[in-house]
Amino acid sequence: MQNLTDLPENTTSSTNLSVIMKVCVVIPFFIVFLFFILLTLCTFASHRQFFDSSRYILFTYMLINDSLQLLSSVSLFLLVMGSVQFAIVFCAPLLFVSTATFLNTPLILCTMSLERYVAIFYPLHRPAIWKPEWIWIIILSLWIISCILPTVDFVLMRLKPNVDILSTPVLCKTVVLNASPIQALFKVSLNGIFFAVVAVVILFTYIRILLETRRMRQDRVSVRKALHTVLLHGFQLLLSMMAFSQPVAELFFVQGVNLSQADMYFIYFFCFILLPRFLSPLIYGFRDESLRSYMKKVTPCYCARTDRHKEITK
């Protein structure tokens, strides 16, 4: 999992100040994100018609996956920042969820792009698998695929002779589970295949919808919206893929810009792990007029303003 779990331990006062600043940057973003998630899920729960659309079901699934990803990643971030050590048996579930949800993100983006493609090209004869009552099969398949890498990590895990999985306290980071060269090779290969396939699918759907936009004379507005949605999926995928450029960037920036390795890890963690998940639900949620109007009605300040208006008009 590409997260801030490889930071070197240091107890100097400057490092403590740096840790406090990093925590103060991450936590507010995390709180705002959770507020938006709860607001969106409350909107979906209050208006069941959203679950009659595969698009909104996949959007809800993306929000839940991103929430699990952020909860696990931010928890690992805080544990590493505080130098908290505990047994691998308690660390492993956090790493498993963090890795699986990270890999699940490109799969969800790919699925959402394909859903837009199917909606444009097969509006009246949509395949059964893309209908709302069957979309859960696709969602279950995505979870199974995304769990392959962390499962292999556990199977290939080789601990040091003096480390006990039940009792030896360790700093919870990926190197605990990814210690062998075979694991590293498998991880790089699988990540490359994951993102290459997703990039090809998103590019294919974008080109096909773009060509359809030029060809169609009717309903061009909905096709353009689908085109912009797929483009946003591609942008989010690009941000996620940038997380794998960390080793290359270190060669150019750590020495040239005089950044410490800890600061470099944090920049990648915030820009390419947290930020895409902070932005995506805000972009997709507020771009949708129907969802935006319903979300206003469940916002506390909007409800209070409406109640005051009713009292005044009585």
pLDDT 10s digits, 215-266: 765 566 767 777 777 787 777 777 777 666 555 555 555 555 666 767 777 8
* Domain chopping of the chain, boundaries: 13-313
Sole residue written with tokens 């949800």? 101
Distance CA 98, CA 75 (A): 10
Residue range 126-139: mean pLDDT, rounded: 89
For residues 120 and 212, the answer to whether their CB atoms sit within 8 Å is yes
Q: Confidence class of residue 22 from pLDDT cuts 50, 70 and 90?
A: confident
Distance CA 160, CA 173 (A): 15
Nearest to 203, CA basis, from 288, 104, 108, 117: 117
pTM passes above 0.85: no
Q: What is the CATH number of domain 13-313?
A: 1.20.1070.10
| Long-range CB contacts (within 8 A, 24+) of 190-199 | 190/148, 190/149, 191/103, 191/149, 191/244, 194/103, 194/106, 194/107, 195/106, 195/237, 195/240, 195/241, 195/244, 197/110, 198/106, 198/107, 198/109, 198/110, 198/237, 199/234, 199/237, 199/241
Tokens of 1: 């999992």
Residue 241: which residues within 8 A CB-CB, separation 6 or more?
195, 199
Calculate the CA 313 to chain-centre distance. 45
Residue range 125-138: mean pLDDT, rounded: 88
Q: Confidence class of residue 97 from pLDDT cuts 50, 70 and 90?
A: very high
pLDDT one-digit tens code per residue, 79-88: 888 888 888 8
